[in-house]
Amino acid sequence: MADEKNHDNRLERLMNQLAESVLGLTDEAVLAEASEAGTDPAQEAKRTRLVLQNASKTFDSVSRRLSNLGHTINSNDWWSGESVYHNACQTCGLFVTFTTTTGEIRGEALDEVCSSLDQYTTRKRKVSC
């Protein structure tokens, strides 16, 4: 387990370093590199935009569903692993995951109302005659 955690940390650092190196490039350098690789920069930009838009829509959908069920999720507590993002309700601890590539949403938090709502719920009493 520790080896897997170390591997994940190294991979995350590498990805952050790669992102920083790309951010440091000029637009011309990025376009030249894409052209050298034989890709159409406009098509790559369109594809990247679509991936980011779909991930954003999935994230918004997850957040809305969790909120409707009374769950409280700290947006800074999402952690990732191979295109899957994980989080848990701060109140009841139920988990939720979503996949950026497929838009798949899973987790106990999507199936149950947060236990914090139970304390505020008024229950109807049946009257016996």
Q: Which helix (H) or strand (E) holds 85?
A: strand 84-88
Instruction: Give residue 54's pLDDT.
Output: 84
Instruction: Give residue 66's pLDDT.
Output: 92
Instruction: Give residue 95's pLDDT.
Output: 94
SS3 of the chain: helix, strand, coil, percent, to 5: 55, 10, 35
Instruction: Give residue 124's pLDDT.
Output: 47
Q: What is the DSSP letter of 112?
A: S
Instruction: Give residue 119's pLDDT.
Output: 56
pTM (2 d.p.): 0.60
Identify the segments of the chain with pLDDT beneath 70: 1-8, 11, 118-129
Residue 122 CA, distance from chain mean position: 34
